[in-house]
A = this chain, B = another copy of it.
Amino acid sequence: MAIQPWEEEANKAKQVLANSIPKQWMVPEDKLPPLEQLNVTEFPGKSGLLTDKELSITQTSATALVAAMGKGELTAEEVVVAFLKRATIGHQLLNFATEFMADDAIARAKELDGHFKKTGKLVGPLHGVPISVKEHIGLKGRICHTGYVAWIKNIAPEDALLVQLLKNAGAVFHVRTNQPQSLMHLDCNNNITGMTVNPYNRKLSPGGSSGGEGASMGFKCAPLGIGTDIGGSIRAPAAFNGAYGLRPTALRNPYDGIILAGDGQESIRCVVGPLAAQSVEDLDLFQKAVLDQEPWDIETSLVAMPWKKVEPKKDITVAIMWDDGVVHPHPPITRGLQFAKEKLQAAGIKVIDWEPFKHDHGWEIVSTLYFPDAAACQRGLIAESGEPLLPLTEWAFSYSKPQPISVTENWEYNVKREKYRADYHALMKERGVDFILSPTYVGVAAALGEPQYWGYTSIWNILDQPCVVFPTGLVQDPAIDKVDETYKPRSETDEREWKKYSPEKFEGAPIAVQLTGKHWHDEETVAAAKMISEIVRA
């Protein structure tokens, strides 16, 4: 069969990736773990490909790396090279990257080292910290295709504002990461880079849409990454890969220069935020480094709200939402929440149950607002190149009404959304709840191509509440996380999701939870997540 024009176009981007991979650090085929080895997280430590120092660097938090560089114990070049080596191996195993930027990253690291040598000072709070970045976040002079073949022709005229600010703070960008077609999957597959897989179990999805970021964090290809989230796209990848992720309240983090189909759609906002491989503290480091630069003085859409210093306090009430009332979570998730509850109670934190409030209503609002134009904009981009529509793209588009809604109907949904937000917030106050601890997803991860239920994450998008996802330290264990034989389906959707679980399928996947705070209380949520994750993981 002759090659299709869309394939030719896709090959251009594939070639950029192929050319960019640092060949010197690639693992010879015969030294790679066999395909049937599902968990590859231990490979860097066991393969002898990284030195002990490199292994140690790549298992260190950004906060600790900056501290070490500030004392002259590490150079930025050592740090960047260590993560580049690990990322190169990671890409061979997981197919998570869309482009490496090794030469630029090393050159920048040398500059930083020069600055430190000359002045004895770090350039900024992220001096020498390698950050992986989701492909649709613009980098000057590079392709920004956002998962569409039609957009391979897009070359970003400049760095996204967030990237500029992170660079100012000393960060180094070494690798760009994969995302699904249309960005509207909780999976990570497209017609350009293909499917990214999960380092804990290569038959599982790394989540999406920031799936490349998830894999990057899970394999420790960077201490920090940048994802975006309109329905769970930071949080599902963080959860599936045993990493940390923050979905901030909308209009806090700078968004200029991030390319998304349907620009100007404001009823449900896509937000950008950090993922971290090692700790909640690193999420805080990232946020402070960005917001201390007052991005609202450039991007006037943003709210002029500095990142406050907030100390965690034990005098809080955490409510656990065991189930959203729509879809039952799988057994290991329930075990994770139970484990967290016991740890919190033992630490003297007040824990109560959270009765979910109209999550089906929330879903009706958010799913309509994702595609008020009946996904015409996204469908048009797919038609433009002729690339095949992937099943999960079609699935996401099916959320929309069959026909575009009118501006007037859109207004009605905005009104419903505002009322739902105010009601939910009032309920948290009425029940005396500061934070809600809940599943991030129905299961520990989805099998490749299978994630369909967004409810556990998208609910906080429509409510615009800040969330931090963190790993409990537990992993799925087929011997413990058996099928609950007493289960009775609540609905077709519930049954569909339940049937996706079998103990063997998810072996070794990390068990994560999601902590949600109140609208605008991002700092309080991060502070609480830091304390709670430390208690749970202790």
Taking Cβ atoms with an 8 Å cutoff, the residues of A that contact B are 256, 262-267, 296-301, 303-305, 372-373, 376-377, 404-408, 410-415, 418, 421-422, 425-426, 429, 464, 519-520
**Contact status of A264 and B414, CB under 8 A, knowing A301-B421, A520-B296:** yes
Question: Are A373 and B305 neighbours in the complex by a CB distance under 8 Å?
Answer: no
Could you give 10 example pairs across A and B, Cβ below 8 Å? Answer: A264-B415, A265-B414, A296-B520, A297-B429, A300-B425, A300-B464, A301-B422, A303-B303, A373-B408, A404-B406
User: Of all chain B residues, which has the CB nearest A414?
Assistant: B264
Question: Are A304 and B305 neighbours in the complex by a CB distance under 8 Å?
Answer: yes
**Contact status of A410 and B411, CB under 8 A, knowing A296-B520, A425-B300:** no
In the A-B complex, the 3 residue pairs with the smallest Cβ-Cβ separation, listed nearest first, are A264-B411, A264-B414, A304-B520
User: Of all chain B residues, which has the CB nearest A410?
Assistant: B407
Residues from chain B with Cβ under 8 Å of A266 in the complex: 266-267, 411, 414
Residues from chain B with Cβ under 8 Å of A301 in the complex: 418, 421-422
Question: Are A263 and B304 neighbours in the complex by a CB distance under 8 Å?
Answer: no
A519 vs B412: C-alpha distance when bound (angstroms): 28
Question: Are A264 and B412 neighbours in the complex by a CB distance under 8 Å?
Answer: yes
A406 vs B262: C-alpha distance when bound (angstroms): 13
**Contact status of A265 and B411, CB under 8 A, knowing A296-B520, A300-B418, A300-B519:** yes
A252, chain B: closest CB distance, angstroms: 10
Question: Are B404 and A262 neighbours in the complex by a CB distance under 8 Å?
Answer: no
User: Of all chain B residues, which has the CB nearest A265?
Assistant: B411
Question: Are A262 and B300 neighbours in the complex by a CB distance under 8 Å?
Answer: no
Residues from chain B with Cβ under 8 Å of A406 in the complex: 373, 404, 406-407
**Contact status of A411 and B262, CB under 8 A, knowing A305-B305, A406-B404:** yes
A264: which of B304, B404, B413, B519 is its contact (CB, 8 Å)? B413
A372, chain B: closest CB distance, angstroms: 5
**Contact status of A303 and B305, CB under 8 A, knowing A265-B411, A406-B404:** yes
Question: Are B303 and A520 neighbours in the complex by a CB distance under 8 Å?
Answer: yes
**Contact status of A263 and B415, CB under 8 A, knowing A297-B429, A305-B303, A404-B406:** yes
A16, chain B: closest CB distance, angstroms: 28
A373 vs B303: C-alpha distance when bound (angstroms): 28
A415 vs B266: C-alpha distance when bound (angstroms): 10
Residues from chain B with Cβ under 8 Å of A408 in the complex: 373, 376-377, 404
A283, chain B: closest CB distance, angstroms: 20
A298 vs B411: C-alpha distance when bound (angstroms): 21
User: Of all chain B residues, which has the CB nearest A465?
Assistant: B300
**Contact status of A422 and B300, CB under 8 A, knowing A407-B405, A410-B407:** yes
A435, chain B: closest CB distance, angstroms: 16
User: Of all chain B residues, which has the CB nearest A521?
Assistant: B304
A305, chain B: closest CB distance, angstroms: 7
A263 vs B417: C-alpha distance when bound (angstroms): 12
A376 vs B426: C-alpha distance when bound (angstroms): 34
A407 vs B372: C-alpha distance when bound (angstroms): 7
Residue among A267, A303, A404, A405 with most chain B CB within 10 A:
A303
Residues from chain B with Cβ under 8 Å of A421 in the complex: 300-301
Residues from chain B with Cβ under 8 Å of A372 in the complex: 407
**Contact status of A373 and B263, CB under 8 A, knowing A300-B425, A305-B304:** no
Residues from chain B with Cβ under 8 Å of A426 in the complex: 298
A413 vs B264: C-alpha distance when bound (angstroms): 8
Residues from chain B with Cβ under 8 Å of A405 in the complex: 407
A271, chain B: closest CB distance, angstroms: 15
A524, chain B: closest CB distance, angstroms: 11
User: Of all chain B residues, which has the CB nearest A463?
Assistant: B300
User: Of all chain B residues, which has the CB nearest A264?
Assistant: B411
A519 vs B411: C-alpha distance when bound (angstroms): 25
Residues from chain B with Cβ under 8 Å of A304 in the complex: 305, 519-520
A426 vs B267: C-alpha distance when bound (angstroms): 26
A299 vs B262: C-alpha distance when bound (angstroms): 28
User: Of all chain B residues, which has the CB nearest A417?
Assistant: B264
Residues from chain B with Cβ under 8 Å of A411 in the complex: 262-266
A530 vs B491: C-alpha distance when bound (angstroms): 62
A414 vs B404: C-alpha distance when bound (angstroms): 18
A405 vs B372: C-alpha distance when bound (angstroms): 13
User: Of all chain B residues, which has the CB nearest A412?
Assistant: B264
A411 vs B373: C-alpha distance when bound (angstroms): 10
A301 vs B519: C-alpha distance when bound (angstroms): 9
A161, chain B: closest CB distance, angstroms: 10
A174, chain B: closest CB distance, angstroms: 30
A297, chain B: closest CB distance, angstroms: 7
A263, chain B: closest CB distance, angstroms: 5
Contacts A298-B422, A376-B408 known; list 18 others, CB within 8 Å: A264-B410, A264-B413, A264-B414, A264-B418, A266-B266, A266-B267, A296-B519, A297-B425, A298-B426, A300-B422, A300-B464, A301-B422, A303-B303, A304-B519, A373-B406, A373-B408, A377-B408, A405-B407
Residues from chain B with Cβ under 8 Å of A429 in the complex: 297
Residues from chain B with Cβ under 8 Å of A305 in the complex: 303-305
